[in-house]
Structure 1
Amino acid sequence: MLSLDKDFLKGSIPPLVTPFRDGAVDYDAYAGLVEFQIREGSHGILVNGTTSEPSSLTVEERNHIVDVAVEAAAGRTTIVVATGSQSFAETEALTRHAAAKNAIDALLIVTPYYARPPQRGLVEYYRQLNTLHDKPWMIYHIPGRAAVDVKIETAREIDAACPTFVGMKHASLDLGYVSELFEQVDEDLRVFVGLEELSFPMMAVGACGLMNAVGNLRPRPLAEMCEAVWAGDLFAARALHRRLFEINKAVFYDINPIPMKYMMKRLGIMPENEHRLPLVPATAELERKLDTVLEKMGLV
């Protein structure tokens, strides 16, 4: 495992949505989302994560979004780029582009989805990708979407085979897995929470931060929760976690980021809640349900 400064790569790093307008990526709106995150106190941004609908984007669009993020951030925040895809060739192209930029702080590479590779295939996949760059990088572990699980022993093999491996975004309800990672691989791993409902619990057992979709909507409380944990104020952190409970549930009333985009438009964070097929905007019934949540939270 690559040794990192204790204050590097931690905190609330939300996976930004991709704004669309008339079918095209709205890069100006994306730059506005970067500015919003910086203004609201997030510790960084995650570019091209699951919440960005990456499977609906071309390689060229994903790479250009990276360029826009770098320009908009202008060195003011940490930038992590998700460079994984279902094929090695696409992942290689995305990884080379992001890793070539000095302003990119780390990479997040999802387990290749659909193929359902064997564990030895995952080790070789990540080993070969690691030869392409010298950036700190993390596995994006999301078995519910990728249909492949990274076993603890596989994570240990990846750690041994990949010089710049530093951790994982863990988007699974298996909280015990996180403790096993620290015990069996390295206690200094950077583990980010990928599911809203486990934000506080996973940080309490050692996660370094959050990469939560809800950070698109409520960045500041998430950043404050991380800071409360770091300060040892677990009661304050737990109170923030509970305060976000309703909105955390609302994010998943439909497939992410359908509810998120509607609520962001409703709150004026971005101009449209457009999607690309096969995702579609919120129904009128879902809009009413989300409006009720926003009203209950005092946001509208």
Structure 2
Amino acid sequence: MSNPDPTRHRGIFAPVLTPFYDNLEPDIEAFVAHCKLLLASDVGLAIFGTNSEASSLSFGEKIELIDALIAAGIDPARIMSGTGSCSLKETIALTRHSIDAGVTSVLMLPPFFYKNVSEDGVFAFYSAVVEAVGDRRLGVYLYHIPALSGVPVTPTLIERLRKRYPSTILGVKDSTGDWENTRTLLTLFGNDGFDVFPASEALLLDALALGGAGCISATANLNPAVLSALYRMGPGGAPNALRDAAFAVRRAFQQLPMIPAMKAVKALRTGHRGWKNVRPPLTGLSGVNVEPLVSLLEAAEETTSVPAGALPASAGR
């Protein structure tokens, strides 16, 4: 399958948080506003990732959210659509819809319910999606998060897929948090037109030094200007104050259930209480004062000359 001009990505991407009303229906207006805020800081949109609560969203809801972004005038070239699921047909259908909407890059989980499946089986799944979609514009970023999926995207699997679909398999998000794994992927594939994204800003500068494409980080939802500046300045130019501030924010959120914590902070900063809502089986943050997290974010913003409190109350809707 040939794809002479695939959409490739560089920089910082946020696995976009999904806001819900109190009845747990997606708040589309707040979702679009949040996406616009991220883009204003030059942070791309990785919709339907882990931190988006993607596995708690229905197929129809994902379609509706994609269409809402496009209707709002958001550039589809700034979006990666998370289309992987346990259902082959649903993965194919969501991938097709994304491409039809102009979102040609997808971040695709392997099928994750059955564990201890063979590499041949995972290869067959990805191959079936690429063949069934049958669109030269398709660019697939593989999503390696074995701690949650239980199904690894191994270097040998990547090599096989790239050999079969060299213009379609564009990169990988490595969510192991293990620098040695990220370094291995960069060493094997990073100099061969394959985009490697670690999932944490803590690994960003080291990855960039070896040819990494950027990072897809949960905390980019709340710290977009800082991470964008860290990426632009790179391993040789980022001042210690900027690095330390970014890493301090990451460490603080990692000490809490990250999705509820990020949503609680978003609710506090915007004044839109609905941002606190998460879908079961997740539960909202309880008994935790998130004001120190807000203070950390404001201190980090000051290192990039972004005014403290850069998220106005109106930005949440």
Q: Same fold (TM over 0.5)?
A: yes
Residue equivalent to 2:65: 65
- Pick the aligned partner of 1:266 from 255, 268, 278: 268
Q: 1:77 & 1:124 partners in 2: Cα distance?
A: 28
Contact 1:19/1:29, CA 8 A, preserved across alignment = yes
State the Cα RMSD in Å.
2.3
Kindly state the Cα deviation for residue 9 of structure 1 after the two structures are TM-superposed: 1.0
1:160-171 pair list within 5 angstroms: 160-162=163-165, 163-171=167-175
Shift of 1:174: 2.7
What is the CA distance between 1:224 and its match in structure 2?
1.0
Q: Shift in Å at residue 34 of structure 1? A: 1.4
Give the secondary-structure state (helix, strand or coil) at the position aligned to 2:64.
helix
2:200 matched residue in structure 1: 195
Report the alpha carbon displacement of residue 65 of structure 1 after superposing the two structures with TM: 0.9
1:68 and 1:183, CA in 2 relative to 1: closer, same or farther beyond 3 A? Answer: same
Partners in 1 of 2:163 and 2:75 — Cα distance?
A: 32
Where does residue 218 of structure 2 map in the other structure? Answer: 213
Residue in 2 that maps onto 1:16 = 16
Contact 1:141-1:169 within 8 A present in 2 as well: yes
Q: Give me the whole-angstrom Cα distance separating, in 2, the residues matched to 1:174 and 1:2.
A: 32
Q: How many residues align?
A: 291
Query: Counterpart of 2:315?
Result: none
Task: Report the AA paired with residue 194 of structure 1.
Answer: A
Alignment of 1:134-153 (within 5 A): 134=136, 135-153=138-156
Deviation at 1:296, TM superposition (A): 4.3
**SS state at 1:13 partner:** strand
Question: What whole-Å deviation, never above 9, does each CA across 1:84-113 have from its counterpart, x for those lacking one?
Answer: 1122222122212112222x1411101221
Q: What CA distance in whole angstroms lies between the structure 2 residues aligned with 1:81 and 1:96?
A: 11
Change (3 A) 1:155 1:244: same
- Gaps (5+ residues) in structure 1? none
8 Å Cα contact 1:139-1:167 kept in structure 2:
yes
Q: Determine the structure 1 residue equivalent to 2:162.
A: 159
Identity %: 23
Q: Deviations over 1:38-75 (max 9, x none)?
A: 22232x21111111101111100011111112223432
Once the two structures are TM-superposed, the CA of residue 291 in structure 1 deviates from its matched residue by 1.8
Task: State which of 269, 279, 283 in structure 1 corresponds to 2:286.
Answer: 283
Secondary structure of the residue aligned to 2:75 is coil
In the alignment, residue 173 of structure 1 is paired with which amino acid? Answer: G
Q: Determine if contact 2:204/2:215 at 8 Å carries over to the other structure.
A: yes
| CA deviations over 1:193-242 (Å, ceiling 9, x no partner) | 2134323322332211111111110111111111112xxx5241654232
Q: What is the one-letter code of the residue matched to 2:158?
A: A
Contact 2:183 2:207 in 1 (8 A): no
Runs of at least 5 residues in structure 2 that lack an aligned partner in the other structure: 299-307, 310-317
CA distance in 2, matches of 1:41, 1:144: 29
Q: How far apart, CA to CA, are the structure 1 residues paired with 2:58 and 2:194?
A: 32
Q: Quick check: 2:77–2:104 contact (8 Å CA) kept in 1?
A: no
Q: Which residue number in structure 1 is paired with residue 302 of structure 2?
A: none
User: Matched residues in 2 for 1:254 and 1:98: separation?
Assistant: 33
Contact 2:143 2:153 survives alignment (8 Å): no
> Is the 1:226–1:237 Cα contact (8 Å) retained in structure 2?
no
* SS of match in other structure, 2:180: helix
Aligned ranges for residues 90-239 of structure 1 at < 5 Å?
90-102=90-102, 104-116=103-115, 117-131=117-131, 132=133, 133-134=135-136, 135-162=138-165, 163-185=167-189, 187=191, 188-229=193-234, 234-236=236-238, 239=241
Shifted more, 9-18 versus 82-91: the winner is 82-91
Contact kept? 2:142, 2:153, Cα under 8 Å: no
CA distance in 2, matches of 1:76, 1:156: 28
Using the size of structure 2 for normalisation, the TM-score is: 0.84
Q: CA deviation at 1:12?
A: 0.9
SS in 1 for 2:108: strand
CA contact (8 A) 1:92 1:129 kept: yes
8 Å contact kept, 2:76–2:101 = no
TM-score by length of 1: 0.88
> Amino acid of the residue matched to residue 261 of structure 2?
P
Which region of structure 1 is more displaced relative to structure 2, 137-146 or 195-204? 195-204
